[in-house]
Amino acid sequence: MAAKPTLPLRANRARMRREFGAQAAVGRHGETGLVRIALTPAYNRVRDMVRRWMEEAGLQTRVDAVGNLVGRREGRVKGLPAVMAGSHLDSQNPGGRFDGPAGVLAALEAVRRIGESGAPHDHPLEVVAFVGEESACGMTVFGSSVMTGVVGPKEMKRAVHPPTGKSMYEAVAAAGGNPARAASCVLPRRSLKAFVELHIEQGPVLEAKRVPVGVVDLVVGYARGKVIFQGVTAHSGGQPMPYRRDAAMAAAEFMVGMERIVRRAPARRRVTLTFGEVGVYPGWVSIVPGGATLSFDLRARSLATLKGVLGRMRGELARIGRSRKVAGRVAEVSILPPCPASPGVRRALIRGAAAAGSRWLPLPSGGVHDACRMAALCPMGMIFIPSVKGLSHTPEEFTHFRHLVQGTEVLAAALLQLADRRVKA
Ligand SMILES: [Zn+2]
């Protein structure tokens, strides 16, 4: 009979610190950054390193046909679905050392501590490192999209892997995978009981409120696309102002007008709106631009709010079109609906925080994560730990080690509960 677990399960800090330092050295960029794009040699090196740690911890490992790594610890009841935790090991170009690896190392330490403590668990426990979460590899949440059957060979052939200029399909093969067998990566329904991801917050709330752990209630949805303006190109000296149909001015009026509209929205319909790319054409100092394009990224807590703001955008374009005689239209819109965390997994995380003696806050996630894809397969939940100054996707990204440890202990306690067959996810 296994010894009774000592609760709370404390992380092995020295080991975590060592592993964190070792992973941060692979693909290091400057003093504190990382360039470790999925499907590159640096990425394979770190994945193999984490795989070795999993095996040393007694986990059974597998790497699927596109490069997702999973380590498994069997439960004491045969045939039950697994409780999975993890995140990603790839980075932005460049990114920081915490975005992704924090969640993989926390899951590894949590499952390893459960094993070492002798705590009994009915369900199997799995640690996952999804391949290619960051858009820098050519596809956002690539590995979890393949695992949930959203992306297959056709999509991989269409997407470009920026570091090599090859298609994602070719890049998977070059990295040692077998993209033609992507269907073999798809996890069967009912193979998972729950999925939990620990991630850095990538925002300022936890630090500002001095709370070490956030329990995510919902991952906000987004709408992305382009806005295209068509005016008339003209000579910058010859064309008097009243005669112009200047596409750049129309785009500027639209951007500022939309900012005013979304800033005025009531709290429950609050959104973030970003015009991250602006282009004017033909793009010369002495030419009145006849064309302009914007990219937009709009995020909100509800699909209705997303659609409402898209409607306001079209309204603004119509108004500006009439006053400036510049036609504007919204194009190439893609929508990802908001994704709520499951109440059962949230409950386990909240109890986990109590068991670990950690204060916590409910928080939405503004960023998209692999957890959103996994939500199609099983109940999902997320833990956030503080990002200093809210910074992420930059070498300046930083999270205090004590917060990583605290999050890991909350995760361990939550996983132990979810792995109890009497606990509903
Ligand atoms: Zn991430």
Dist CA 167 CA 394 (whole Å): 26
Residue 48 Cα to ligand 1 midpoint, Å, equals 19
- Domain 13-220+338-418 falls in which CATH fold? Aminopeptidase (3.40.630)
Dist CA 171 CA 177 (whole Å): 9
Residue 316 Cα to ligand 1 midpoint, Å, equals 34
Residue 384 Cα to ligand 1 midpoint, Å, equals 11
| Dihedrals phi, psi of 367, to nearest 5 degrees | -95, 155
The confidence score (pLDDT) of residue 3 equals: 42
Residue 328 Cα to ligand 1 midpoint, Å, equals 34
Residue 99 Cα to ligand 1 midpoint, Å, equals 5
Residue 295 Cα to ligand 1 midpoint, Å, equals 22
Residue 281 Cα to ligand 1 midpoint, Å, equals 35
Instruction: Give the bridge partners for 299, in sequence order.
Output: 222, 272
Residue 349 Cα to ligand 1 midpoint, Å, equals 19
Residue 415 Cα to ligand 1 midpoint, Å, equals 20
Residue 133 Cα to ligand 1 midpoint, Å, equals 7
Residue 124: is the preceding peptide bond cis (ω within 30°)?
no
> Which residues make Cβ contacts (< 8 Å) with residue 25, sequence separation at least 6?
none
For the beta carbon of residue 211, count every other beta carbon within 10 angstroms.
Answer: 17
**Where are the chain's structural domains?**
13-220+338-418, 221-336
The confidence score (pLDDT) of residue 31 equals: 92
Dist CA 323 CA 245 (whole Å): 10
CATH class of 221-336: alpha beta
Dist CA 126 CA 122 (whole Å): 13
Residue 98 Cα to ligand 1 midpoint, Å, equals 8
| Dihedrals phi, psi of 41, to nearest 5 degrees | -60, -40
The confidence score (pLDDT) of residue 8 equals: 74
Dist CA 392 CA 399 (whole Å): 10
The confidence score (pLDDT) of residue 7 equals: 64
The confidence score (pLDDT) of residue 404 equals: 98
Residue 376 Cα to ligand 1 midpoint, Å, equals 19
Residue 27 Cα to ligand 1 midpoint, Å, equals 16
Residue 101 Cα to ligand 1 midpoint, Å, equals 8
Residue 91's nearest CA partner among 46, 126, 49, 50 is 46
Cα distances (angstroms) measured from residue 394 to each of 34, 53, 268, 284: 9, 27, 30, 32
Residue 100 Cα to ligand 1 midpoint, Å, equals 4
Residue 200 Cα to ligand 1 midpoint, Å, equals 8
Per-residue pLDDT of the chain (425 residues; tens, 9 = 90+): 344 444 679 999 999 999 999 999 999 999 999 999 999 999 999 999 999 999 999 999 999 999 999 999 999 999 999 999 999 999 999 999 999 999 999 999 999 999 999 999 999 999 999 999 999 999 999 999 999 999 999 999 999 999 999 999 999 999 999 999 999 999 998 999 999 999 999 999 999 999 999 999 999 999 999 999 999 999 999 999 999 999 999 999 999 999 999 999 998 889 999 999 999 999 999 999 999 999 999 999 999 999 999 999 999 999 999 999 999 999 999 888 899 999 999 999 999 999 999 999 999 999 989 999 999 999 999 999 999 999 998 999 999 999 999 999 999 999 999 999 999 99
Q: Do 13-220+338-418 and 221-336 agree at the fold level? A: no
Residue 250 Cα to ligand 1 midpoint, Å, equals 36
Residue 369 Cα to ligand 1 midpoint, Å, equals 6
Residue 393 Cα to ligand 1 midpoint, Å, equals 9
Dist CA 303 CA 335 (whole Å): 9
Residue 314 Cα to ligand 1 midpoint, Å, equals 32
| CA dihedral of residues 91, 109, 410, 147 (deg, nearest 10) | 50
Residue 197 Cα to ligand 1 midpoint, Å, equals 10
CA 156 to the chain's CA centroid: 19
End-to-end CA distance of the chain: 27
Residue 34 Cα to ligand 1 midpoint, Å, equals 13
Residue 12 Cα to ligand 1 midpoint, Å, equals 24
